[in-house]
Structure 1
Amino acid sequence: MVTKIKTKTNTTVNSCTPVSCTCEELWSVSQQFCLKRLSEEVSANSYNFVDSYSVRARRIAGTYARFYLETEENGDPSKKGRFYWMALGAFASKTVACTLEHPTVRLGRFPNDLIVTASDWFGQGNFWLFQDIAGWHHYYSKFGSEVFFKCMSKRNTNTLVPEIKSAIYKADWAKDSLSKINNLRSNEFIKKGFDEVKKFENARLKNNKLKAQYQNLLIIAEHEQGEILQPLIYEGWRNRREIDSMGLFSWLAPNVALFFTSDCSTNTERYISHAPEGTVVYDYDSRMTWINQVAKKFHGLMQTETTYMETQLRTMAGWYNKADRWVNFN
């Protein structure tokens, strides 16, 4: 089990602009945003991370939704749709929140202690995926595409300003996580994924915008599944054992499905993507087969039921500053 502690994220970064600050200092601004979003202020410029993993997941879902809707700080409503993966990410993080709130994961202990750490690795994966992907989107949104691509290769948790570097290395699971996810450095998926964001912004024809959106969706999915979640949580032997055990106890465990609703479930089949039979969640190729199906269904719903989908996203967007629970069940 990972020991859960409240960590002060004493985050004060002087006002930075691309003219006055280095790439590393600008990355510190974006990382500060990610840290603060999962924290509550306890005194002037001093923050404690939210204790509840499910509340964190709902804040994450809310932030992703806000990025898609362009209602996040520095958002540009005229460019709504450019951060396409973030809309799917909102539904995914909501699903994580619902899983963490499920009695099996929250409270259950099975023979041989098979599921006791499930809430930890769900929480770990969601926390560090957010620190990664929200940082990229915040930077692009705040500083623009030209500065983003110029400074993309400079992102590295080891080169953040001292206050932010200290805060992120004190975060939950930091010692175990950061080396596995390459200290949040860039890779080919990030470059290609944000190339599609830029294509969307520059496209005039709707079909070209739709193509850029779908490519962004698939490429960022490869990044978050292969570069972040696979090495971070799915390679651990104990995590794999727990996933297998949750299959054995499937009558108690959460369903492996993604619901396109702000609620934890729905009886409307067109808003559900079930994992195909035989899916091995911790196997990257097996998991990606399902995720590609999720992406296809999501993309279809975003075109045919836009009002419904964006209503769900607006509901989730309201969770970005959800209060921590006073009773911690994690």
Structure 2
Amino acid sequence: MTQCFKEHPIDDQRLNHNSTPVADCECKEVRLYGSKTLVTDVPILTCSCLWRTYQREAEKIVAPDGELIADPVERNRAINAAYARLWLHDRRFQWAGLAAFASKQVGCGLLHAADSIDLIRDEYESRQRLRDSRRESGILTPDRMSEQAGALRDYKEADARNPVPSVDFRSAEEDLSLVQQQFRHVHDMMAMGNTTLFLDIFPLHEFYAKRGFKEFKQCLEAREGIFGHLKWPVLWPVGEEKLRFGRRYSQILQAFEAIETGNIVDSVEYLAWHEQRNILQPAIYQDQQLVALLRGNHASYVTGLPSGVAQAIELTLTSQCQRVEDGRTIGFSNNPLADLSDINQRMPFVLRAAARFDEMLQKANRSALEQSIREIAAGSQS
């Protein structure tokens, strides 16, 4: 067991009973039906109180000061670590163990997109410095030749590091080129989907871990009702108009019922369907610009054209981003026309990863897998 959840007084209090002794409650005089009456306000522990508390705990992980952690990579690491701690806390939470690796892979994509944006900017700025130098003093001015040679060398090095073809478009009004804007869109959508999924699913695990399946089942429908409260607003980055918060999807109940009865493999599959169909599909995979960019990235990676631009769609069951050739890296598809946004193509990839994760847990290399999860829990990834 490892420290995973913050303890709260309400964790052990009885549902639908007063959470404060009546003798300690304030008694005040009010006018009721035309006469003065003494009234005691007695707080009652409700399902909504529990959901609000556990939702707030998830929010503190990604928004410790009430605002989302500004750096999506840092926020992603906090999410990865929280998933890893869930599995270390309770090995029945196998979906969370797999999610630690899947979310880590999202972080790898965020790093790739951010690095690509920076490398394109470096090439653009070095090219501008070379042009400015030549424009100011010409190409063969003796006292500027050393300086221009250095600028040319810097440009060639930056151009070699640039991961995209030289054909790019940059408007005078835009800070980012067209290709940079595409990388930025993928980056922002991945970060938003990663955060939204965490805010949906972490409180479910905390509620079940602390209150048990009976109350989980009893209270699940009440979760949706905590959204929109003026005093206790819910952090929901995807927006209610795109994806309603806290809906009682059948896969959620099926997943935790499977955990309760010891059908761990089934629980992973139910939660996988929930995350992909109910959360990520409407949150990110219906965005047509993202769909087009993901398809272009995959086709480029499979065909190698253009070379060096694309990143593989894969999941590696280690704490690092780099793929390994010992069976711990699961690829999406070798078909250049494959479409990650199509849930019927995406789910076989997700379920293959789930099966590989479960298989590794049953074998001698379980210790290596557990070590990787501990590294993720500690925030170590590269």
The TM-score normalised by the length of structure 2 is 0.67
Tell me the SS of whatever aligns to 1:267: coil
CA contact (8 A) 2:200 2:246 kept: yes
Determine if the alignment matches structure 1 residue 49 to structure 2 residue 106. Answer: no
Determine if the alignment matches structure 1 residue 127 to structure 2 residue 195. Answer: yes
Q: 2:332 aligns with which of 270, 275, 291?
A: 275
Alignment coverage as a number of residue pairs: 277
Pick closer, same or farther for the CA change 1:49–1:116 going to 2, 3 Å: closer
Question: What is the deviation of 1:112?
Answer: 9.2
Q: Letter of the 2:247 partner, please give it.
A: R
User: What do residues 157-204 of structure 1 show as CA deviations (whole Å, max 9, x unaligned)?
Assistant: 645754432x52xx5x343xx34332121111001000011012xxxx
Q: Letter of the 2:60 partner, please give it.
A: K
Tell me the SS of whatever aligns to 1:263: coil
Aligned to 1:214: 265
Pick closer, same or farther for the CA change 1:159–1:31 going to 2, 3 Å: same
Question: What is the deviation of 1:273?
Answer: 0.5
Q: 1:37 aligns with which of 43, 58, 61?
A: 61
- Structure 2 CA distance, aligned partners of 1:160 and 1:319? 33
Aligned to 1:63: 82
Question: What is the deviation of 1:244?
Answer: 2.3
CA contact (8 A) 2:114 2:187 kept: no
- Structure 1 CA distance, aligned partners of 2:75 and 2:309? 24
Question: What is the deviation of 1:234?
Answer: 0.3
* Structure 2 gaps, min length 5: 1-7, 20-44, 121-176, 302-307
Determine if the alignment matches structure 1 residue 199 to structure 2 residue 267. Answer: no
Deviates more, 1:187-196 or 1:152-161: 152-161
Deviates more, 1:230-239 or 1:139-148: 139-148
CA contact (8 A) 2:116 2:183 kept: no
CA contact (8 A) 2:251 2:270 kept: yes
Question: What is the deviation of 1:215?
Answer: 0.5
* Structure 1 gaps, min length 5: 1-13, 42-46, 71-79, 201-211, 323-330
- Structure 2 CA distance, aligned partners of 1:272 and 1:52? 27
- Structure 1 CA distance, aligned partners of 2:200 and 2:214? 20
Pick closer, same or farther for the CA change 1:105–1:284 going to 2, 3 Å: farther
State how 1:248-259 maps to structure 2 within 5 Å: 248-250=299-301, 251-259=308-316
Tell me the SS of whatever aligns to 1:282: coil
Aligned to 1:90: 100
Tell me the SS of whatever aligns to 1:190: helix
Determine if the alignment matches structure 1 residue 99 to structure 2 residue 109. Answer: yes
Tell me the SS of whatever aligns to 1:262: coil
Task: Compare CA radii of gyration and give the structure with the larger one.
Answer: 2
Which protein has greater RCO, CA pairs closer than 8 Å, 6+ apart?
A: 1
State how 1:294-305 maps to structure 2 within 5 Å: 294-304=353-363, 305=365
CA RMSD of aligned residues (A): 2.3
- The percentage of aligned residue pairs carrying the same residue is 25
Question: What is the deviation of 1:92?
Answer: 0.3
- Structure 2 CA distance, aligned partners of 1:224 and 1:179? 18
Aligned to 1:316: 376
User: What do residues 33-91 of structure 1 show as CA deviations (whole Å, max 9, x unaligned)?
Assistant: 111011234xxxxx332111111111111101111110xxxxxxxxx321110000000
Aligned to 1:243: 294
